[in-house]
Copies of this chain bind each other. A is one copy, B any other.
Amino acid sequence: MAETRGFHVAVVGATGAVGQQILKTLEERDFPIEKLSLLSSSRSAGTKVSYKGESYTVCEAKPESFEGVDIALFSAGGGVSKALAPEAVTRGAIVVDNTSAFRMDENTPLVVPEVNEDDLHKHNGIIANPNCSTIQMVVALEPVRKQYGLDKVIVSTYQAVSGSGNAAVEELNEQTKAIINGEAFKPEILPVKGDKKHFQIAFNAVPQIDKFVDNGFTFEEMKMINETKKIMHMPELSVAATCVRLPIATGHSESVYFEVDSEGVSAQEMKELLKDAPGVVLQDDPANQIYPMPADCVGKNDVFVGRIRKDLDEDRGFHMWVVSDNLLKGAAWNSVQIAESLIRLGIVK
């Protein structure tokens, strides 16, 4: 990446699961940082965090924290983003927001660089980073849409607990230990911290991520449905989702059925297409048992696609299995990637 100067970058939610990955990613990418402000809620303020070997003290995020900030990466929950992202924008920052606060706002671009980088030009100060489960799916679907058209998507997800934060990972680990040792345990976080009931996640499958909407879908499912249409600029696309939380620390998987416009496309042609798609790594060789798995994707920025099959009945139907690190492409890496795009496109100067 060619840049002319370093930038003042703020990371809001620097102590959280995603914030930590954002810092790691900025470091790995050698992001052009002149000044780094690490911010958080009052609860985590004072925590020491290291970046490139230097120790930083995390400060409570306040409106005035954003004075002089060029790029602010938010991942401290929807409430913090709603309250402080506009304050950051007023002070001249461009916000990349990893919460759901502004995703469906019609004046806020919702961006996955491989899919709709051009939408960054339409920003009004805030750019929304999509939901983790949406991002990896649209990276795999966009090349299909471009080449063969896209009509219908039905997805069932296999989601890791780190999507619910560090405390959920801790709960999975402690509960697993308790069950193995035959000890009692009390679920307190999953499936949704703020919901009424909590259920066992270790050795279980919980078909609830986020709270329920009146139509029987969960918010997570509605996010996948609505965000996919917005990112792909396809309000007419038929999308349905069933989202399930599993005893996996990190790495979301998705079983995706989709129908294209074109007739007579073969599974081999679909594989060739995805082999060269941006952000995608094809792992699809059943004869040698090569397919993506969450345990293999952790720490990697790519979206891994495999198990591509043509439907046996529907000529325009295909199945695939899509896996990615939900904290990286699903969150931190996509946010940093947006920030890199903003610089490369000259939107942040």
A308:B216 contact, CB within 8 angstroms? yes
Which 9 A-B residue pairs are closest in the complex by CB-CB distance? A238-B313, A156-B156, A156-B255, A212-B286, A204-B295, A216-B309, A242-B255, A197-B289, A158-B205
| A305-317 interface code vs B (CB 8 A; 1 in, 0 out) | 0111111111001
Closest-CB distance, A298 to chain B (whole angstroms): 10
| A196-228 interface code vs B (CB 8 A; 1 in, 0 out) | 110110011111100010011110000001000
B242:A321 contact, CB within 8 angstroms? yes
| A274-299 interface code vs B (CB 8 A; 1 in, 0 out) | 00000000000011110111110000
Bound CA–CA A203/B297 (angstroms): 13
Bound CA–CA A239/B317 (angstroms): 12
Bound CA–CA A308/B242 (angstroms): 11
B253:A205 contact, CB within 8 angstroms? yes
A137 sits at the interface (CB 8 A): no
Closest to A218 in B: B286
Residues of B within 8 A of A206 (CB): 293
A240:B158 contact, CB within 8 angstroms? no
A180 sits at the interface (CB 8 A): yes
Closest to A248 in B: B203
A312:B180 contact, CB within 8 angstroms? no
A195 sits at the interface (CB 8 A): yes
Bound CA–CA A212/B176 (angstroms): 32
A246 sits at the interface (CB 8 A): yes
Bound CA–CA A251/B244 (angstroms): 15
A-B contact pairs, 28 of them (CB 8 A): A154-B154, A154-B257, A176-B176, A176-B180, A191-B289, A196-B288, A199-B289, A200-B293, A200-B295, A204-B293, A205-B253, A205-B293, A205-B294, A206-B293, A207-B253, A207-B293, A207-B321, A212-B286, A212-B287, A212-B289, A216-B286, A216-B307, A238-B314, A239-B313, A240-B319, A242-B321, A247-B247, A247-B248
A173 sits at the interface (CB 8 A): yes
A121 sits at the interface (CB 8 A): no
Closest-CB distance, A315 to chain B (whole angstroms): 11
Bound CA–CA A195/B204 (angstroms): 26
Known contacts A158-B244, A158-B246, then 16 further A-B pairs from the complex at CB < 8 Å, ordered by chain A residue: A158-B158, A177-B180, A200-B293, A203-B295, A205-B253, A207-B292, A212-B289, A215-B309, A215-B312, A216-B286, A218-B286, A238-B311, A240-B257, A242-B255, A244-B255, A255-B255
